[in-house]
Amino acid sequence: MTGAARAVPSPVELPDKPSIAVLPFQNMSGDPEQEYFADGMVEEIITALSRIRWLFVIARNSSFTYKGKAVDVKQVGRELGVRYVLEGSVRKSGQRVRITGQLIDTVSGTHLWADRFDGSLENVFELQDKVASSVAGVIEPTLQAAETARSVSRPTVDLSAYDLYLRAFSISISSDKHMPEAIHLLEQAIERDPHYGPALAWAAFCCFRLCLDGLSKDAAADGLKGVSFARRALEVADDDPSVLANAAIALAYFGEDIGAMAALADRAVALNPSFARGWYTCGVLRCWGGEPDAAIQDVNAAIRFSPRARVGNSTALIGRAHFLSRRFDQAVPKLLLAIQDDPTYPEPYRTLAACYAHMGRLDEAREVVERLRNITPVIVPTFSFLRKPEHRDLFLSGLRLATGESDMTNT
């Protein structure tokens, strides 16, 4: 071999949080002038992903050193020190454009996600923004799931606060019955790092769900614990959208001013407009605050940004919003779908039973109540999280019809 051999860059150590590089998209249009569009698309996606606070995103200057080169994503991962790579292409035909993208784990080479987006070039910048926000919205839950699975598969020796948090997140979303175990793991994470905002906020969220679903053995104590976790999370939030959203929903449930908590959730989605869970939280708080139509708009935004990965119980919330607006015929199919999607979640059963009762379908209402008894002992909660008295009354009067006065003792 003649000449000096090219120096092989030393592998860069992976950072202590999920990391991603967005490689330059290939221009498949055969039109060199479309390079600007492909490059602009990548810049928009980098900007959108940079709003995800728990994600380390490689800057444009580094990722664009691979422009025009055939790349091996595993090599890119070693050279840039990233676990994930997003690559894609742009193909223009007339006034139409197709953008494809795929997300790859650079260590295993596994393809985690792939999709395509079609649009018109009439408004290039609007299309770039739409694709960037959609990609970021889909990637966030995909990476969360990948990181969680990676953590859960590790040996349970000398776990860091981050791994404890991921394990708690995994078991809490798998079943509400695991909330106490999740809180225990989160408390260990918080003991290791008392200023760990995501762990504090998720602990507050778990306390809220423990009480909401009637699984708490001491609701007053868990409520105080949840409020403490949430307030501590906000002290260290540092404009982290997920911390703001999770703390807001917990504090709202435990009685804090609903307007102030909705403002926190609004701030979360202003910081990261593609944050699906943030939009879902906005919808929950709008619903609790007595704005069911606004709630539906926010939940639809959550579904748009995370069409495949379920975020919260979106169909149940839409069903509840229709119920509160007395659109019972529109509520029923959403509630049935929510129960089919997650048969262990009690809220849609309660709403459906009340809905059937107000429609005069008492036999069906009572059947739903019997199914609910197999899930939770709390058939009729207080509904104190609903701020409008007429909304609480609508639920309670419906459940009276569905269960009979004697069942009102478990409020």
As a 3-state breakdown, the chain gives helix, strand, coil percent values, each rounded to 5, of: 60, 10, 30
Please indicate whether residue 411 or residue 206 has the higher confidence score (pLDDT).
Answer: 206
When pLDDT is cut at 50, 70 and 90, the band that residue 340 belongs to is very high
pLDDT at site 294: 98
> In the predicted model, is pLDDT for residue 136 greater than 90?
no
Q: Which CATH architecture has domain 19-139?
A: 3-Layer(aba) Sandwich (3.40)
**Which CATH code for domain 154-297?**
1.25.40.10
> In the predicted model, is pLDDT for residue 151 greater than 70?
no
- Residue 36 neighbours by CB under 8 Å, 6+ apart: none
Could you report the per-residue pLDDT of 268-290, keeping only the tens digit for each? 999 988 888 899 999 999 999 99
pLDDT at site 402: 96
In whole angstroms, what is the distance from residue 196 CA to residue 202 CA? 10
Backbone angles phi, psi at 98, to 5 degrees: -120, 125
Could you report the per-residue pLDDT of 350-387, keeping only the tens digit for each? 999 999 999 999 999 999 999 999 988 889 988 999 99
pTM of the model: 0.77
Q: Are 46 and 61 in contact (CB under 8 A)?
A: no
> In the predicted model, is pLDDT for residue 12 greater than 70?
no
> In the predicted model, is pLDDT for residue 3 greater than 50?
no
Could you report the per-residue pLDDT of 278-325, keeping only the tens digit for each? 999 999 999 999 999 999 999 998 888 776 556 678 999 999 999 999
Asked if domains 19-139 and 154-297 share a fold, the reply is: no
Mean pLDDT of 45-62: 84
Domain ranges of the chain: 19-139, 154-297, 313-411
Instruction: Give the residue carrying structure tokens 């225990």.
Output: 184
**Helices marked H in 81-160 — which ranges?**
124-152
In whole angstroms, what is the distance from residue 261 CA to residue 250 CA? 9
Mean pLDDT of 162-172: 86
Decide which of 1.20.120.1630, 1.10.3720.10, 1.10.150.120, 1.25.40.10 is the CATH code for 313-411: 1.25.40.10
Instruction: Give the residue carrying structure tokens 């309660």.
Output: 350
> In the predicted model, is pLDDT for residue 409 greater than 90?
no
pLDDT at site 309: 58
Angle of helix 179-192 relative to helix 197-212, nearest 10 degrees, comes to 160
Q: Are 384 and 251 in contact (CB under 8 A)?
A: no
Mean pLDDT of 225-250: 94
Q: Are 368 and 397 in contact (CB under 8 A)?
A: no
> In the predicted model, is pLDDT for residue 166 greater than 70?
yes
- Mean pLDDT over each residue of the chain, to the nearest integer: 86
Q: Are 300 and 289 in contact (CB under 8 A)?
A: no
Percentage of the chain modeled with pLDDT above 70: 91
pLDDT at site 5: 41
Could you report the per-residue pLDDT of 99-125, keeping only the tens digit for each? 898 999 998 888 888 888 888 877 777
> In the predicted model, is pLDDT for residue 55 greater than 50?
yes
DSSP line for 112-133: EEEEEEEEEGGGHHHHHHHHHH
pLDDT at site 15: 60
- Residue 291 neighbours by CB under 8 Å, 6+ apart: none
